[in-house]
Amino acid sequence: MSRYWVQRLGFALLGLIALAVVAPILVVIGTIVVEGMGAISWEFITAMPFDGMKQGGIFPALVGTLLLTLGTALVAIPIGVGGTIYLAEYARDTWVTRCIRLAIVNLSGIPSIVYGLFGLGMFVLFLRMGTSILAGALTLGIMTLPVIIITAEEALRAVPTEFRTVSASLGGTRWQGIRYIILPQALPGIITGIILGLLRAAGETAPILFTVAAFFLPRLPQSPFDPTMALPYHLYVISTQVPGMPLQIQHGTALVLLALVLSMNLVATIIRSYFRRRRQW
Amino acid sequence: MLAQRQAEAAGADWREFVIEALIRVLGFSTIGFVLLIFLFLLREGVPSFYKVPLSNLFGISWYPTFGLFGTLPLLLGSVLVTVTAILIAMPLGIATAVFVREVAPNWAREILKPMIEVLAGIPSVVLGFFGMHVVAPLIRETLGTPTGLTVFTGGLLLAYMALPTIISVAEDALDATPKSYKDAGLAMGATQWQTIWRVVVPAARSGITTAVMLGMGRAIGETMAVMMVTGNAARMPLSLDSLFKPARTMTATIAAEMGEVAQGSIHYHALFGIGIILFILTFLINVAAAATIFKKQRRGGLR
Amino acid sequence: MVDPKIHIEKVSYAYGENWVLRDVTLDIAPNSVTVFFGPSGGGKTSLLRLVNRLNDLVEGTQMKGRILLDGQDIYSSDTHVPSLRRRVGMVFALPLPLPGTVRENVLYGLKLAGIKDRSRLDEVLERSLAQSALWDEVKDRLDHLASALSGGQQQRLCIARSLALEPEALLLDEPTSGLDPISTRKVEDSLFALKQQYTIIIVPHSIQQAARIADQAAFFLMGELVEYASGTELFTHPRDKRTEDYVTGRFG
């Protein structure tokens, strides 16, 4: 067989494989949309559940997830962005810096359930926060740190070095250069990374299993020390622990979670491409 | 004028110092967190090592209610599911990475890359949900197994969850091969196809290995999706047909049982002990992957 | 020479183990144009960057010797480096506009120094742009992006940016290397006017440019200061054979 035929077949095969990777994604989303659409209504989203979750809405779970995501942001953004600025702008190439990078690689590889164990051991028990939004947000926050740091560092390094030199030559200190030029230019990339990190935190179940989540809590949390329902945990329980749960409600819950996560993904993508086009370098 | 500037400078210097100190602390905090996590795991998990005889801990039966804490079936369950996942994901991932980087026309690339990002964003509980309701019954019907909740189902799901990691790291590796390699191959009369498989991919070998290792780390650590589709039977998956029988991973065990245990009980400590094993396993995999990257960077040139 | 503005004494400088400057001593007169020229690798740019301590940003270097500005050692431990860099400005080889408008670029140095008075800023803006012969071309486009200007305009913008801080000395590293002849001419003309107020050190990008503008000229070869004399002398009657060979084009 001629080499060019081999190539044509080969390319086609690769294309099919790529299709095999991508098509199921559409199937997953499609199935959940089709099966769950029927359950979606204004009431579903804004009402409280009753009858053991089999009726009513998922409002407290939605609120819980939003609160947890907010909490994660409050923890992960300052530490993450601060740490990244240190790594990209201040750190020298010493063994300590290499340890920090190793630590970040490590943090990013720790299984989410192990974060859950840590959260249980440290926040819920040792620091006596109990099963609470606070414990959950702290756990999720630490889990989200590496994601933010890795994307933010890439964004900072992408800004041309020349700007730093010019700023210094005009009498700028290192922080002034960062604050007035480097950080604003890297901001779109950093924000994209933050959003991607937060959407992962919003969808995680394992870290919140023992640190935050309550199953049937038909009232909204009153303080950061309260436990709360959350969408991912809710979906898990109603699909595996509640006999007789209407299938449509299960799919509907999955749909809401999926919609939340995918819309954040979309926002991040839009931000990224919009600012890439407007770059002045 | 000069004196005024000097005075302003002194004030600004002090602020600069505080900001820099703060940033430095935040930078070092990451090391702090890793140590903290390991410390707490040890604190709660080590008691299991002296409350439970080692022969029990490494035994083949995990029946906590009867005082049996054999971690072997859980370990093997995780390993089997992960290996299955990698065997599926590796060819799929590398092929897709090659396709996206080297073969696909621009319009295809613009569709594929966002879709892979979407896949990365789908929560594991949602995938597990889908697996439970759609994939498992499918497997049960097509393969005639008594239940669709098997190691294979879990492996299949995990493969898709690991794919985005494998694809993006492999893509970076392919991207980093110098264009001159490709040009040289083509100049010698090879077709694009031949150049890809005989020049570019081998050159990106270590980056691709890193990609697979990171994917493996992701797979071992996955909890919800596997918990929902592997059937949660803590049996020893020894024979080949165990692939189509239920099993249980370490992660699922912790997730499923932690809610029921009393704090301070042996069961509680044992679950933390499993957490330690997981921590060490993923630590080793990720450090190995990172070491490959660092070594390449130090040598310069290829990433 | 009257008291030199800048006194460079026995300066040697290395990147790692590679010595790019060896035992250089020379004085820069105030309100003049001094030219550092020679083949590449001669150490001219490195020496330039030592004068405003911009080489502090590079790791792994060694330096010996002293550099005095108005009689004060700029490498002493109580030198305030940002203030030094406001007194000794620098223009780079490629036009490097900062992101932002023309106005933001010119006034950036002042913003860093904490100067906020609006009327003063406007005055500085116009003066600096006029001094670098750019005012007429951009006075209607002050709030347009700097990246929209042509290469020659951007480079003059960078000069204006440095001048806004009212430095005492101005260091220029091949400022016209990326520019067309007309822009080059405009930049050189503005230098003639500027030397009335400022002490200028420039690394030219050709010998011809050096001959055109130099009051004093220093020839560097492989890190060594070979010859230093007035412009006319050095280019018409060089004393060292190496200088003569380079100036007449026998090597380059």
Q: What percent of chain B has pLDDT over 90?
A: 38
Q: What averages of pLDDT result for each successive group of 10 residues across chain A (281 residues)?
A: 84 92 94 90 80 76 93 95 91 86 90 94 89 93 94 92 94 92 93 94 93 79 86 91 86 93 94 87 80
Kindly determine whether residue C82 and residue B9, on different chains, have CB atoms separated by under 8 Å: yes
Which residues of chain A have a CB within 8 Å of the CB of B104? 15, 18
Predicted local distance difference test score (pLDDT) of residue A39:
84
Contact B252, B224 (CB under 8 A): no
State how far the Cα of C135 lies from the Cα of C141, in Å rounded to an integer. Answer: 10
Which residues 122-181 of C are in CB contact (within 8 Å) with B?
Answer: none
Kindly determine whether residue B287 and residue A145, on different chains, have CB atoms separated by under 8 Å: no
CB pairs under 8 A between A and B: 264
What is the least distance, in Å, from the CA of C84 to any CA of chain B? 11
User: Is the model's pLDDT at B9 over the cut of 70?
Assistant: no
What is the domain count for chain B? 2
Cα A116 vs. chain centroid, distance in angstroms? Answer: 16
| Structure tokens, C37 | 């020229």
User: Is the model's pLDDT at B301 over the cut of 50?
Assistant: no
Any alpha helices (H) in chain B, and if so which ranges? 2-45, 47-51, 54-57, 72-98, 106-121, 124-130, 136-143, 151-176, 179-187, 192-195, 201-203, 205-221, 224-229, 250-257, 266-299
Q: What percent of chain C has pLDDT over 90?
A: 48
pLDDT band for position C42 (cuts 50, 70, 90):
confident
Q: Does B247 touch chain A (CB under 8 A)?
A: no
Q: How many CB atoms lie within 10 A of CB C74?
A: 19
User: Is the model's pLDDT at B44 over the cut of 80?
Assistant: yes
Domain A41-277 has CATH 3.40.47.10: no
Predicted local distance difference test score (pLDDT) of residue B12:
64
| CB-count exposure of residue C117 (10 Å: 0-12, 13-18, 19+) | exposed
If asked whether residues B71 and B215 sit together in one domain, one would say yes
Element (H, E) at C68: strand C61-69
Which residues of chain B have a CB within 8 Å of the CB of C86? 5
Kindly report the average pLDDT of chain C as a whole number.
89
Q: Which of A163, A164, A171 sits opposite C113 (nearest CB)?
A: A171
User: Is the model's pLDDT at B8 over the cut of 60?
Assistant: no
Predicted local distance difference test score (pLDDT) of residue A170:
94
- The single-letter code of the amino acid at A136 is G
Kindly determine whether residue A170 and residue C165, on different chains, have CB atoms separated by under 8 Å: yes
Cα B261 vs. chain centroid, distance in angstroms? Answer: 27
What is the domain count for chain C? 1
Element (H, E) at C21: strand C18-28
If asked whether residues B93 and B238 sit together in one domain, one would say yes
List the subunits that have 3+ CB pairs under 8 angstroms with B: A, C
Q: Which residue matches tokens 């003059």?
A: C156
| Structure tokens, A214 | 């309550």
What is the domain-level CATH number for residue C193?
Answer: 3.40.50.300
Beta-bridge partner residues of C90? C171
Q: Does C167 touch chain A (CB under 8 A)?
A: no
| Structure tokens, C18 | 């590679």
Kindly report the average pLDDT of chain B as a whole number.
86
- Segment B104-122 shows an average pLDDT of 91
- Segment B79-104 shows an average pLDDT of 92
The whole domain housing C174 covers 6-247
If asked whether residues B288 and B154 sit together in one domain, one would say yes
State how far the Cα of A134 lies from the Cα of A38, in Å rounded to an integer. Answer: 35
Buried b or exposed e, range C42-54, using 16+ CB within 10 angstroms: bbbbbbbbbbbbb
| Closest-CA residue of chain A to C84 | A171
- Kindly state whether residue C252 falls inside one of the protein's structural domains: no
Q: Does C83 touch chain A (CB under 8 A)?
A: yes
- Kindly state whether residue C185 falls inside one of the protein's structural domains: yes
Q: Which DSSP symbol is given to B65?
A: G
CB pairs under 8 A between A and C: 63
If asked whether residues B94 and B204 sit together in one domain, one would say yes
Q: What are the residue ranges spanned by the domains of chain A?
A: 41-277
pLDDT band for position B1 (cuts 50, 70, 90):
very low
Which residues 8-47 of C are in CB contact (within 8 Å) with B?
Answer: none
User: Is the model's pLDDT at B232 over the cut of 80?
Assistant: no
* pLDDT tens digits, B159-171: 999 999 999 999 9
| Closest-CA residue of chain B to A21 | B92
Q: Does C113 touch chain A (CB under 8 A)?
A: yes
Kindly determine whether residue A170 and residue C54, on different chains, have CB atoms separated by under 8 Å: no
State how far the Cα of B183 lies from the Cα of B185, in Å rounded to an integer. Answer: 5
State how far the Cα of A215 lies from the Cα of A242, in Å rounded to an integer. Answer: 11
- Kindly state whether residue C1 falls inside one of the protein's structural domains: no
* pLDDT tens digits, A92-145: 888 888 889 889 989 999 999 999 999 998 999 889 888 899 999 999 999 999
> How many residues make up chain B in this entry?
303
Kindly determine whether residue A114 and residue B41, on different chains, have CB atoms separated by under 8 Å: yes
- Segment B244-265 shows an average pLDDT of 87
DSSP helix/strand/coil, B150: coil
| Closest-CA residue of chain B to A231 | B125
State how far the Cα of A191 lies from the Cα of A66, in Å rounded to an integer. Answer: 18
User: Is the model's pLDDT at B2 over the cut of 60?
Assistant: no
Strands (DSSP E) along C70-193, which ranges? 72-73, 88-91, 169-173
If asked whether residues B36 and B78 sit together in one domain, one would say no
If asked whether residues B17 and B158 sit together in one domain, one would say no
> How many residues make up chain A in this entry?
281
* pLDDT tens digits, B182-208: 888 888 888 888 888 888 888 888 889
Predicted local distance difference test score (pLDDT) of residue A89:
87
> Which distant-in-sequence residues (6+ apart) come within 8 Å of A121 by Cβ?
B40, B41, B43, B44, B272
Predicted local distance difference test score (pLDDT) of residue B17:
86
State how far the Cα of A172 lies from the Cα of B13, in Å rounded to an integer. Answer: 11
What is the domain-level CATH number for residue B124?
Answer: 1.10.3720.10
Predicted local distance difference test score (pLDDT) of residue B300:
47
Beta-bridge partner residues of C91? C172
- The single-letter code of the amino acid at B119 is L
- Kindly state whether residue C78 falls inside one of the protein's structural domains: yes
| Closest-CA residue of chain C to A169 | C85
pLDDT band for position B3 (cuts 50, 70, 90):
very low
Q: Which of C52, C59, C100 sits opposite A169 (nearest CB)?
A: C52
Q: Which DSSP symbol is given to C71?
A: T
| Closest-CA residue of chain C to A163 | C98
Element (H, E) at C229: strand C224-230
Q: How many CB atoms lie within 10 A of CB A223?
A: 8
* pLDDT tens digits, C79-126: 889 999 999 999 998 889 999 999 999 999 999 988 889 999 999 999
Q: Which of A17, A117, A196 sits opposite B95 (nearest CB)?
A: A17
State how far the Cα of A119 lies from the Cα of A103, in Å rounded to an integer. Answer: 18
Phi-psi region of C162 (alpha: psi -120 to 50; beta: other; left: phi over 0): alpha
The whole domain housing B29 covers 2-45
If asked whether residues B23 and B64 sit together in one domain, one would say no
